[in-house]
């Protein structure tokens, strides 16, 4: 799905645990009412996933709590 959200002011960051292999995601949390996520392999030109802060917090909480472990 295409979005009309202006992301030019997004301040993208990736994990400090990133090893530079290009297999990372970048997150922008400075957008009003949104958290944006993108794949670093696309050099910033690929698709962007948008979440509400509550959705993002739930995802991070689940990841930290092992909810997605195999």
Cβ burial of 12 (10 Å; 0-12, 13-18, 19+) is middle
Q: CA 5, CA 31: separation in Å to the nearest integer?
A: 10
In-domain check, residue 11:
no
Q: Which domain holds residue 60?
A: 25-64
Question: What are the pLDDT digits (tens) for 10-21?
Answer: 999 987 777 767
Domain count, the chain: 1
Q: With a threshold of 0.85, does the pTM exceed it?
A: no
Residue 2 has pLDDT above 70, yes or no: no
In-domain check, residue 9:
no
In-domain check, residue 69:
no
């Amino acid at each position: 799905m295409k979005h009309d959200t202006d992301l030019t002011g997004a301040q993208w960051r990736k994990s400090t645990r990133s090893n530079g292999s290009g297999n990372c995601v970048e997150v922008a949390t400075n957008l009003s009412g949104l958290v944006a996520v993108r794949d670093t392999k696309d050099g910033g030109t690929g698709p962007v996933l948008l979440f509400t802060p509550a959705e993002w917090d739930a995802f991070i909480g689940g990841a930290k709590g092992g909810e997605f472990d195999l």
